[in-house]
Chain A
Amino acid sequence: MDRIRDQINATARRVPTWAVYILCLLPAPYFFYLAVTGNLGPDPVKPLEHKYGELALQLLIAGLCITPLRQHLGINLTRFRRALGLMAFAYVTFHLLVWAVLDVQALGRVVEDIIKRPYITIGMAGFALLLPLALTSNNYAVRKLGVKWRKLHKLTYLAVFLGGVHYIWLVKGIQLEPLIYMAVILGLLALRLRGRKPSRIAA
């Protein structure tokens, strides 16, 4: 087990972070291309909008797995967490843009929806919470904010939870997929609440 862990850590150390950024970004133009060429079905706006939102949620969840992976399995992928967080924010932005520009198509209606439709209000709140996190995802901010940086970035927990609620709320009736996402989110958050195990020191 330890050897596998060490292998994974060694491999991870060789992967440059720019590669993670590129890998995460590739789906964006890919799905857009599918949408434009009629390969996302006959009503491409919604599938594209949902795909970006789904990727955003998946990336947020992936970022939240980093610490538990380190604490409980000794696998250290912390270097990639910033990329995952920033890419999650990127996809939330793409999701928001597709919704506002290609779906709703009128600023007045966008504002009206944000005010009148609770599941959209919640989605916007999630976006608003991620904004300062994206803006402070750089070495300068980490240095400047010190201890406060860590506290600020705990907002991720709330943001991902709001994302999960947003998903459950936007589907018609009871559907399985949003509930599964919420279960995963709550599980990851519960891992945090159970108290931190003392960090394993890499051998």
Chain B
Amino acid sequence: MAHRWINTLTHNDITPHRAFLNRRQVMAGLAAGAGLAGIGGAAHAADGLEPNSYEDITQYNNYYEFGTGKTDPARNAHTLTTSPWTVKIDGMVDKPGDYAMASIMEAMTIEERIYRFRCVEAWSMVIPWNGFELADLLAMAGVQSGAKYVAFETANRPDEMPGVRFPALDWPYVEGLRLDEAMHPLTIMATGIYGKPIPNQNGAPMRLVVPWKYGFKSIKSIVRITLTDQEPPTSWNKANAREYGFYSNVNPEVSHPRWSQASERMVGGGLFAKRQPTLMFNGYEEEVAALYEGMDLKANF
């Protein structure tokens, strides 16, 4: 059931690696000269998404299991062993068990998906993921009728993840989706970025990507998937229910208690980049609004 969503962006939209490398020199040159104004903001075309550089995507991460700084995961995640890797699929499925990453990859169709990524902290990127539809993996295990939610769990390895020794969150990291959200064509399991295997700091070997929700819902380094009929607990909701809801759909009209979600900083735009208005459902309104028909999105944030 792959290929149910077609990229509107093509490879012509992806900024070539060379140009990205050059961009930094250009900026440094301009800055060293007199004109400091107007550097940022010019980088984004009015239509079409321009993916962030591989460096930006892999050096700027929130992955608290490896430290709470943005560069901590890139620095520390090398200790995570990602091979061999198994995903336990259990709960309301026909074929529960431990699925080896290798057998999953054999069975799945990997495609490229260029998605907007919006962090709850009000910064965003455009990321060219490589992955397969979550629906295909769930079909492999056979979802039983009666299942209403999908729960996910991240690896919890104190010997490989220095950050879990500190209770920044209640480990292991857990997340969940409603079944229809999980089966949506946009929802993928990402295994690569820019055609390369996904780096540890981005959630190797396999992480969820739900592009219309805040980034923390796109749980990384998944070791367990459970089909259930109860709304599963999610880590940030457990940490602070007032600030992080189960749905966490990107919504400029519902502010985080401590900051507005109406606009965002696009990473890579430079020090003087203008904030951009945040789009409803992160720009995927057409694709996903129907899932929330009739729902009060302020109450179910």
Footprint of B on A, CB under 8 Å? 33, 35-38, 41-48, 102-105, 109, 112-113, 117-119, 169-176
Contact = CB atoms under 8 A, between A and B. Distances in A.
Chain B binding surface, main DSSP class: loop
Interface string B41-64: 000000000001101100110001
Given A36-B36, A119-B258, A170-B258, A42 B52 contact: yes
Contacts, number: 76
A175 B56 CA distance: 24
A37 to B, nearest CB: 5
24 contacts: A36-B270, A37-B28, A41-B59, A41-B70, A42-B55, A42-B60, A42-B267, A42-B268, A43-B60, A43-B123, A44-B271, A45-B265, A45-B271, A47-B70, A103-B265, A104-B275, A117-B258, A117-B259, A119-B258, A171-B68, A172-B121, A173-B240, A174-B167, A175-B168
A37 B268 contact: no
Q: Which of A33, A35, A37 has the most C-beta atoms of chain B within 10 angstroms of its own C-beta?
A: A37
B169 interface: yes
A175 to B, nearest CB: 5
A27 to B, nearest CB: 16
A112 to B, nearest CB: 7
Nearest to A48: B271
Contacts of B257: 117
A171 to B, nearest CB: 8
A105 to B, nearest CB: 5
Contact of A105 (B28, B39, B56, B274): B274
A41 B166 CA distance: 25
Given A42-B267, A176-B166, A37 B31 contact: yes
Contact of A43 (B32, B68, B70, B259): B70
B271 A175 contact: no
A61 B24 CA distance: 37
B86 interface: no
B79 interface: no
Interface in B149-188: 166-169
B276 to A, nearest CB: 11
Nearest to A105: B275
Contacts of A109: 260
Nearest to B124: A43
Nearest to A47: B70
Nearest to B23: A38
Interface residues of B, number: 39
Contacts of B258: 117-119, 169-170
Interface of B: 24, 27-28, 31-32, 36, 39, 52-53, 55-56, 59-60, 64, 68, 70-71, 121, 123, 166-169, 236, 239-240, 257-260, 265, 267-268, 270-275
Given A105-B274, A173-B168, A176-B168, 10 more contacts: A36-B27, A38-B27, A44-B271, A46-B265, A169-B258, A170-B258, A171-B68, A173-B169, A175-B68, A175-B168
B58 to A, nearest CB: 10
A47 B274 CA distance: 17
Given A38-B28, A173-B169, A43 B272 contact: no
Contacts of B273: 45
Nearest to B121: A172
Contacts of B39: 36
A43 B270 CA distance: 7
Contacts of A113: 259-260
Contacts of A36: 27, 31, 36, 39, 270-271
A43 B59 contact: no
Nearest to B36: A36
Nearest to B56: A42
A46 B167 CA distance: 24
A173 B169 CA distance: 7
Nearest to B235: A173
Q: List 3 A-B pairs, minimum CB-CB distance, nearest first.
A: A42-B56, A36-B31, A43-B267
Nearest to A103: B265
A174 B70 CA distance: 16
Nearest to B244: A172
